[in-house]
Amino acid sequence: MKRYFYLQLKRGLKVFPFILLTALIILASVAAIFLAVQSRMQNSEENQRFKIAITGDLDDKYSQLGLAVLQNFDDTRFAIELVEMTTDEAEAQLKKGGISAYVVLPENFIERALSGDVDRVTYVTSAGSQNVVSMFKNEFTALITDMVVHSEKGTYAISSAVKDSGLSGAGKYMDELSMEYVDLIFSRSKVMTVEQLGISQGVSTTEYYVCGLAVFLLMLLGITFVTMCVKHDLSLNRLLVSKGTSSLAQLIGEFAAHYIILSLLIAAMAAIGSVALAIVGKGDLLLTSFADLLPLFARIFVVLLMISGFNTLMFELSGNVVSAVLFHFFSTMGLCYVSGCFYPIYSLPLPLQKLSHFLPTGIAREYLEGYFVGDTNFIQLVGILIFTVAFLTAALLIRSAKIKSRRWRYAKTV
Amino acid sequence: MNIEIKAIRKSYGRKQVLRDITLSVTSGKCIGILGSNGSGKSTLLSILAGVQSSDGGEFLFDGRDLFKYEKQRALLVGYVPQGTPLIEELTAKDNLFLWYTREEMQKELDSGILKMLGIGDFLSTQVSKMSGGMKKRLAIGCAIAKRPPILILDEPMAALDIACKQSISEYIKRHKQEGGIVLISTHDLIEMELCDEQYIIKNGVLNRFDYKGNLDELVKSL
């Protein structure tokens, strides 16, 4: 077994330049796609304002004044554009996607409000936009309706009481009261502060994506080994079994060699990446100093154990290079997607969120996150080792079956 | 030295591939096993080589059942499977290193079997750049490391040129002269001429066949 491992390692080192080149091409492609998508999203987010139509009773001068105030002074003007239109037009626009929602002001809304008796406004949105943003818009609409109705009711009740009691000069105080109220409405954003506690295990969004994408890339790099590791002729393995080297011993030798080459590949890519960043003057992009990064690399090398096991299984399952590439790629994409490597885990449905804790990629992501929050992640470490053994056991069963299979015996002859 | 194969059985699911295969071979003999594709020749040889297990039967070497003594079997049997049991990215020397110590390899290259197979001529050549004949000679060179007395060859001359076939034939003759035993699965007439006895596997049953150069008779028997 020792010699078989040594020769597998020698074989890996021989094709290492090719593997490294392929890995760099994959990395560059993924980085280019990621940067392009990020830049597009950023631009669209920066330029995007929610367009909301105001429909219904808008003839009143106070309605016009209110709209003008909201459009010119309120904080919402940076995020929301209000446009006037009829209810039918708004409905048609909403169906076409021209607006995000529309608000219907009931008949005599302002008039009734001035008399302290205001109806609720109706907020209409499409079914597809029932997300967190529309939920906030609903809340916002309800807030205005309730606050306007009840506060105005209170203001007018006081006004009536002042008039009925015959107090003179109360108008000045009533104006002050109204101004206080308007000021309260306009400064409502000062009432609350949004704090981010972190996404998963308390890591920041950036750290979360670093871990998620690192797991994805580490998994993806397995594809660079496909031409070397996929076996279409098992005669050497059959000869080894005949000479007393069991399938288990062979597999461990191959796994160990693969792990070492994969680790070398990561080290080489990290070195090349650091030099490239330094050359283009972006050295500050590195999260921290090299010494501080060592524990992160230690975790990556632990994760690589599991990924090497996963790769070994993928190569064993495939009979040729094309199927191996496709099988590996789609397995990686699926596992990484469900484990929240591409999107924050909270954006996935609850069952998938729970499932991600038991998936190899989810466990690997959480284990890497431990570096940023200073957690040892012992459970995840055990999970990684269990998955490594599970992958190798499955690969062993397949290898043994293939060695004994008639179909594989005739797979290729000289 | 003699081997006895007794009542070996093997099934793949419901299909019985080998039915009570029984055979006795003495020292210095070469046995040819013929049969149509999928008849069970390779299955029988791989069972004897220890690659897969049988459903029953014995493989006796001087009275000792090698199915029960794995380490002895590994030393006594040299097996050349179909295909290329070599690491393509490495040289012939690297591949030999998997089976020989440096001293053994040098000795065999200087005056032994590896010299006879002409492996010294392409020792530093990468396997992926070798011809089919070179690969097969190297594969045999690997399989016969430690000079096992029983050689099991699964279609060793398939798709090889005449010169290469002759080189392998020479080696088989020499192995017989030295008292070794050879079991060959074959479709090749040159290989059949090397065999002292020929057997045909048909419907899982092994029957003696005396090949006297009549090809029509052989085809009918398969």
Give the integer Cα–Cα distance in Å for A32 and A85.
43
Q: Do residues B44 and B154 lie in contact, with contact meaning Cβ atoms separated by under 8 Å? A: no
Rounded to the nearest integer, the mean pLDDT of chain B is 87
The amino acid at B31: I
Kindly give, in sequence order, each residue whose CB lies less than 8 Å from that of residue A251, ignoring residues fewer than 6 positions away.
Answer: A312, A392, A395, A396, A399
Is the CB of A404 inside 8 Å of chain B's CB atoms? yes
Query: What tens digit of pLDDT does each residue of A317-376 get?
Result: 887 888 889 999 999 999 999 998 888 877 778 888 888 889 999 999 999 999 988 888
The amino acid at A58: L
Tell me the two tokens of residue A121: 């406004």
**Of residues A121 and A236, more confidently modeled:** A236
Which range has the worst mean pLDDT, A49-63, A244-258, B101-115, B154-168?
Answer: A49-63
Distance from B51 to chain A by nearest Cα, in Å?
Answer: 5
**Of residues A107 and B141, more confidently modeled:** B141
Report the SS3 class of residue A98. Answer: coil
Q: Is the pLDDT of residue A77 over 90?
A: no
Which range has the worst mean pLDDT, A19-33, A179-193, A310-324?
Answer: A179-193
Tell if the CB–CB gap between A243 and B74 is shorter than 8 Å.
Answer: yes
Nearest chain A residue to B38 by CA distance is A406
Which range has the worst mean pLDDT, A97-101, A171-175, A247-251?
Answer: A171-175
Tell if the CB–CB gap between A404 and B51 is shorter than 8 Å.
Answer: yes
Distance from B79 to chain A by nearest Cα, in Å?
Answer: 7
**pLDDT confidence tier of residue A285, bands split at 50, 70 and 90:** low
Question: Among partner residues B85, B98, B139, which is closest to A7 by beta-carbon distance?
Answer: B98
Percent of chain A with pLDDT over 90: 27
Query: What tens digit of pLDDT does each residue of A97-136 get?
Result: 778 788 888 887 777 766 666 567 787 876 555 554 555 5
Q: Do residues A155 and A125 lie in contact, with contact meaning Cβ atoms separated by under 8 Å? A: no
Nearest chain A residue to B48 by CA distance is A242
Per-residue pLDDT, averaged over A176-184, amounts to: 70
Give the integer Cα–Cα distance in Å for B113 and A2.
25
Task: Show which of residues 13-42 on chain A sit within 8 Å of chain B, judged by CB atoms.
Answer: 14-15
Q: Which residues of A touch B188 (CB under 8 A)?
A: none
Q: Is the pLDDT of residue A291 over 90?
A: no
First and final CA of chain A: distance in angstroms? 26
Percent of chain A with pLDDT over 70: 76
Per-residue pLDDT, averaged over A147-169, amounts to: 70
The pLDDT value recorded for residue A91 is 87
Give the integer Cα–Cα distance in Å for A240 and B79.
10
Q: Which residues of A touch B136 (CB under 8 A)?
A: 414
**pLDDT confidence tier of residue B186, bands split at 50, 70 and 90:** confident
Q: pTM above the 0.80 mark?
A: no
Per-residue pLDDT, averaged over B126-131, amounts to: 92
Q: Do residues A414 and B80 lie in contact, with contact meaning Cβ atoms separated by under 8 Å? A: no
Q: Is the pLDDT of residue B31 over 50?
A: yes
Give the integer Cα–Cα distance in Å for A199 and A207.
9
Give the integer Cα–Cα distance in Å for A232 and A313.
15
Per-residue pLDDT, averaged over B157-177, amounts to: 83
Tell me the two tokens of residue B69: 């003594």
Q: What is the DSSP string of A169-235?
A: SHHHHHHHHHHHHHHHHHTGGGT-------SSTT--HHHHHHHHHHHHHHHHGGGGGHHHH--S--H
Which residue of B39, B44, B52 to mutate against A (max A Cβ within 10 Å)?
B52
Q: Is the pLDDT of residue B53 over 60?
A: yes
Q: Is the pLDDT of residue A281 over 80?
A: no
Half-sphere exposure of A332 (CA within 13 A, CB side): 24
Q: Is the pLDDT of residue A394 over 80?
A: yes
Report the SS3 class of residue B51. Answer: coil
Query: What tens digit of pLDDT does each residue of B58-79 get?
Result: 999 988 899 888 889 989 999 9
**Of residues A113 and A164, more confidently modeled:** A164
Whether the ipTM is more than 0.90: the answer is: no
Q: Is the pLDDT of residue A239 over 80?
A: yes
Q: Which residues of B touch A241 (CB under 8 A)?
A: 50-51
Distance from B87 to chain A by nearest Cα, in Å?
Answer: 8
Tell if the CB–CB gap between A235 and B77 is shorter than 8 Å.
Answer: no
Question: Among partner residues B74, B87, B158, which is closest to A413 by beta-carbon distance?
Answer: B158
Q: Is the pLDDT of residue A315 over 80?
A: yes
Q: Is the pLDDT of residue B197 over 70?
A: yes
Question: Among partner residues B46, B74, B86, which is closest to A236 by beta-carbon distance?
Answer: B86
Which residue of A6, A15, A239, A399 to mutate against B (max B Cβ within 10 Å)?
A239
Nearest to B1 by CA among B28, B23, B19, B36: B28
Q: Is the pLDDT of residue A299 over 70?
A: yes
Is the CB of A77 inside 8 Å of chain B's CB atoms? no
Q: Is the pLDDT of residue A139 over 70?
A: no
Which residue of B10, B87, B183 to mutate against A (max A Cβ within 10 Å)?
B87
Give the integer Cα–Cα distance in Å for A299 and A258.
18
The pLDDT value recorded for residue A173 is 73
Kindly give, in sequence order, each residue whose CB lies less than 8 Å from that of residue B201, ignoring residues fewer than 6 positions away.
Answer: B18, B21, B33, B34, B35, B39, B40, B41, B44, B207
